[in-house]
């Protein structure tokens, strides 16, 4: 249930990716946002809505109320996207493959959902590593406005995958964003399905 709530909160945070063009008081900031960030495009019109376009859709007017926070919103969205993509893989793979060790075996932990309570020491290690990574990223976050840093960009590209072509780079960014948004929905559904059915992947009754 906790993961479901966190996923829902992440989806609310992701609404920053869209801002209505009619907000005159923040038009300059929003135009800069639309030009610089990907992910504001969408199908037209929005189903079950009187709104005729979903481009820059922002039902809570988050970008309009606090345009200066838009980079932070996108940073939070990307962080949740990346965590959710890792979580979906980490939630499915142990259904079929386990790391060596009796405490990790299928006999010791029959269901992945039980790992949280069955492996408290492992949970502490995971928390410690997450805390370490958060501490390492804090200087970059604290200086979000201090230098030309795009949200989510930590300069970590050991394989040199970042393309030199700007359009191709935007395509990569959009792919990450779309897959991340899907993963946020997916991990919530997976945890809910596993909790309700008590079964492993594909979480059917």
Question: Is 176 labeled as ligand-binding?
Answer: yes
The secondary element (H helix, E strand) that includes residue 195 is helix 166-197
Question: Is 68 labeled as ligand-binding?
Answer: no
Question: Is 80 labeled as ligand-binding?
Answer: yes
Residues with Cβ within 8 Å of 113's Cβ and at least 6 positions away in sequence, in order, are 191, 194, 195
* Among 101, 95, 103, residue whose Cα is nearest residue 203: 95
CB 174 within 8 A of CB 97: no
- Residue 194 CA to residue 202 CA, distance in Å, equals 9
Residues with Cβ within 8 Å of 116's Cβ and at least 6 positions away in sequence, in order, are 123
* Among 17, 126, 6, residue whose Cα is nearest residue 71: 17
Question: Is 77 labeled as ligand-binding?
Answer: yes
- Residue 111 CA to residue 190 CA, distance in Å, equals 13
Question: Is 199 labeled as ligand-binding?
Answer: no
Annotated binding-site ranges for chlorophyll b:
82, 122, 176
Annotated binding-site ranges:
57, 77, 80, 82, 122, 176, 179, 181
Annotated binding-site ranges for chlorophyll a:
57, 77, 80, 179, 181
């Amino acid at each position: 249930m906790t993961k479901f709530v966190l996923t829902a909160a992440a989806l609310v945070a992701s609404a920053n990716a869209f801002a209505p063009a009619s907000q005159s008081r923040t038009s300059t900031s929003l135009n800069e946002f639309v030009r610089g960030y990907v992910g504001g495009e969408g199908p037209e019109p929005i189903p079950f809505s009187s709104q005729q376009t979903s481009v820059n859709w922002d039902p809570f007017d988050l970008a309009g109320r606090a345009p200066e926070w838009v980079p932070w919103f996108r940073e939070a969205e990307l962080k949740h996207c990346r965590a959710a993509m890792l979580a979906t893989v980490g939630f499915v793979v142990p259904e079929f493959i386990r790391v060596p060790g009796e405490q990790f075996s299928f006999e010791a932990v029959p269901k992945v959902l039980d790992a949280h309570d069955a492996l408290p020491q492992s949970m502490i290690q995971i928390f410690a590593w997450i805390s370490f990574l958060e501490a390492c990223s804090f200087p970059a976050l604290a200086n979000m406005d201090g230098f030309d840093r795009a949200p989510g960009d930590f300069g970590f590209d050991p394989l040199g995958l970042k393309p030199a072509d700007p359009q191709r780079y935007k395509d990569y960014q959009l792919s990450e964003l779309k897959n991340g948004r899907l993963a946020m929905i997916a991990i919530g559904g997976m945890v809910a399905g596993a909790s309700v059915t008590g079964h492993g992947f594909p979480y059917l009754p």
